[in-house]
Amino acid sequence: MGQSKSSASASSAPVPQVPSASSSQQKSNTNTDAMNSNRNNEAAAAAAALAGSESNASLSAEEKEARKAEKKAAKAAEKAAKEEAKRLRAEEEQKKRKLAGGVGFEVMQQPPVKLEPPSGTRDFYPDDYRLQTWLFDKFHAAARASGFELFDAPVLERQELYKRKAGEEITSQMYGFVDGDGEEVTLRPEMTPTLARMALGRAHSQILPLKWYSIPQCWRYEAIQRGRKREHYQWNVDIIGCRSVSAEVELLSTAVFFFKSVGITNADVKIKVNSRKVMGDVLAAAGVPTESFAPVCVILDKLDKIGAEAVEEQLLEVAKLPADVSKRVLAVLACPNLDALRTLAKDSGVSDGEGMKDLESVFELANAYGFGDWLKFDASLVRGLAYYTGVVFEAFDVRGELRAIMGGGRYDRLLSLYGAMTEVPACGFGFGDCVIVELLKERGQLPHLPRNVDVVVAPFSADMQGPAMTVAAGLRAGGARVDLMLEAKKKAGAAFDYANRVGAEYIAFVAPNEFSQGKVRFKDLRVEDEDRKQVDLNLNELDRALDALGENRRLAKGLSSSMSALSLDASDTATLYGGVVRATLA
């Protein structure tokens, strides 16, 4: 496989992976909690990255050398701390496993392959995946609540979709290569161009507006920081074919719905709103040539990251703006509110055009929807992607500690850039899976998501493995989540250990005596009452076992029966749907 220019830069560019603050700090993290250590390292690395990029220019050669050496030492300390954390984690896991009576395996000190995934990418172990599934479920629910339809596409895209020549970071961050057909392809860095391509691909059969959403994995070769990785999942919600700002408001409402659904309030998060159209007019009046507007926006987008001084430098050197124009541009960004911007626009001879009206409507309609207090005008928000043409927005944590949580806006000219005969109005947002999890973690709002199944089926002996499978099949036919023990254990205690480990509600012991009488014995792992702890169910009623077991639990808790067909009582025997439910002494 050949390498394109961008792939060459992806594999060799010195992407800063900056070390964290001090090794002693890291060690204490490691000793207390290995997971925290990693997180803190990332945060410290982000801080060091920012500090480094802000002040490097003013350092002497020796100071730069010293800083380099410091960084190297910190990096080595970070690596050592990570390895120590890993060792401690492994020890901890081993202890837990022993306590749970489980078997496992050991790994060499120096295995022949790296066990971590590539830098900036994540493995999702089952524990992590439960959280990811929870998050995705919330994304799906919010999108569906507003009538958006799910779509997807290959992670591999053609590079041409992203080559927009405005100096956007995304173009240089592609994981690109030339495939066997000689085609320049890349792992997609974002989903919007794919959405545009797909909408154009079915242009003849689509009825506008399209309301589509997706949760693609996106790949960008960028500096690793807290909340910024080289792969991330990005919830994308877009509307194609609506010229009115009702579309932007609908999108913002969907994002707010999601925030609320995960317990985030407008005290935690605000959504900054501005308009590229308004900024275009005002900056043109300030002396920015029309053709320079998109590249200027790419530079202005870095304001939070690199500071006003560095932005001004880039406006002069990269965008080639005269000094007085650069100063005026920065003054525009400092406008504190919409009124001030309106006055500034008027003073510069810009009339109250469509852009300003749209911007005002966003705030008005958001009030009508009831989420106006989530929005905040911000003149410095322009977004770093070249294709935006109108209202733009970005969600931030109020404390200002994290990178953007979500960002989007109107991109009315992207589809015509790709071949639409006329301008097709479009807008949308991308919402990453990393920053929101950081925020929830920080607020202590991550959900508790233990492993969970309904029933563990435990064969009494090796020759009961077949009958145990019959029981598992019967239970699963009724919708139960069943974990069948794959080997019979000598001691019943091992089945209890296993059931605890997998978070089971019940154990079904499949033993020769009961089985020969057409019955299975269940133990309810959440019931204390010895009279109700054990329940025998008929083999041919297993598809309704969860109902019977649930009813037994209700009665054990002293609640009245919820089933008219059932006459379980505390004494012992009851009839359910003609089957036998026996609550006996354990």
**Site residues (vs ligand HAM, CB under 6 A):** 190, 192, 220, 222, 228-229, 232, 234, 236, 238, 385, 404-408, 411, 428-432, 434-435
Residue number with the smallest Cβ distance to ligand HAM: 432
CB of 403 to ligand HAM, least distance (A): 7
CB of 168 to ligand HAM, least distance (A): 9
For tokens 């022949």, the residue is: 112
**Core vs surface per residue 363-400: b (16+ CB within 10 A) or e:** bebbeeeebeebbbbbbbbbbbbbbbbbbbbbbbbeee
Measured between alpha carbons, how far is 190 from 266 in angstroms, rounded to an integer? Answer: 27
Q: Please say which residue, 192 or 253, places its beta carbon nearer to ligand HAM.
A: 192
Q: Please say which residue, 217 or 500, places its beta carbon nearer to ligand HAM.
A: 217
Q: Please say which residue, 388 or 460, places its beta carbon nearer to ligand HAM.
A: 388
CB of 219 to ligand HAM, least distance (A): 9
Q: Angle 354-369/276-285 helices, nearest 10 degrees? A: 150
Task: Report the 10 Å Cβ neighbour count for 486.
Answer: 8
Q: Please say which residue, 425 or 430, places its beta carbon nearer to ligand HAM.
A: 430
Measured between alpha carbons, how far is 337 from 241 in angstroms, rounded to an integer? Answer: 30
The two structure tokens encoding residue 63: 């100071």
CB of 396 to ligand HAM, least distance (A): 9
Largest distance between two CA atoms of the chain: 94
In 39-161, beta strands by DSSP E: 149-150, 156-158
Residue 356 three-state SS: helix
Q: Please say which residue, 374 or 429, places its beta carbon nearer to ligand HAM.
A: 429
Q: Is the separation of the CB atoms in 333 and 300 below 8 Å?
A: yes
Q: Angle 246-261/126-145 helices, nearest 10 degrees? A: 140
Q: Is the separation of the CB atoms in 246 and 264 below 8 Å?
A: no
CB of 263 to ligand HAM, least distance (A): 18
Tell which residue, 434, 379, 384, has the closest CA to residue 407.
384
Tell which residue, 237, 273, 231, has the closest CA to residue 255.
237
CB of 433 to ligand HAM, least distance (A): 7
CB of 387 to ligand HAM, least distance (A): 8
CB of 14 to ligand HAM, least distance (A): 17
Task: Report the 10 Å Cβ neighbour count for 183.
Answer: 13
Tell which residue, 446, 492, 497, has the closest CA to residue 586.
492
Q: Please say which residue, 40 or 236, places its beta carbon nearer to ligand HAM.
A: 236
CA dihedral 557, 560, 562, 563 (to 10 degrees): 110
Residues near 471 by beta carbon (within 8 Å), at least 6 away in sequence: 457, 508, 510, 520, 539, 542
CB of 553 to ligand HAM, least distance (A): 43
**Core vs surface per residue 423-441: b (16+ CB within 10 A) or e:** ebbbbbbbbbbbbbbbbbe
The two structure tokens encoding residue 252: 């913002």
In eight-state DSSP terms, residue 319 is S
The two structure tokens encoding residue 160: 């041409």
How many residues appear in the chain? 586
Q: Please say which residue, 428 or 459, places its beta carbon nearer to ligand HAM.
A: 428
Measured between alpha carbons, how far is 236 from 430 in angstroms, rounded to an integer? Answer: 4
Measured between alpha carbons, how far is 213 from 224 in angstroms, rounded to an integer? Answer: 27
CB of 306 to ligand HAM, least distance (A): 17
Q: Please say which residue, 402 or 457, places its beta carbon nearer to ligand HAM.
A: 402
Q: Please say which residue, 122 or 481, places its beta carbon nearer to ligand HAM.
A: 122
Q: Please say which residue, 157 or 190, places its beta carbon nearer to ligand HAM.
A: 190
Q: Angle 34-55/61-99 helices, nearest 10 degrees? A: 170
CB of 23 to ligand HAM, least distance (A): 27
Q: Please say which residue, 377 or 411, places its beta carbon nearer to ligand HAM.
A: 411
CB of 239 to ligand HAM, least distance (A): 9
Q: Please say which residue, 355 or 408, places its beta carbon nearer to ligand HAM.
A: 408
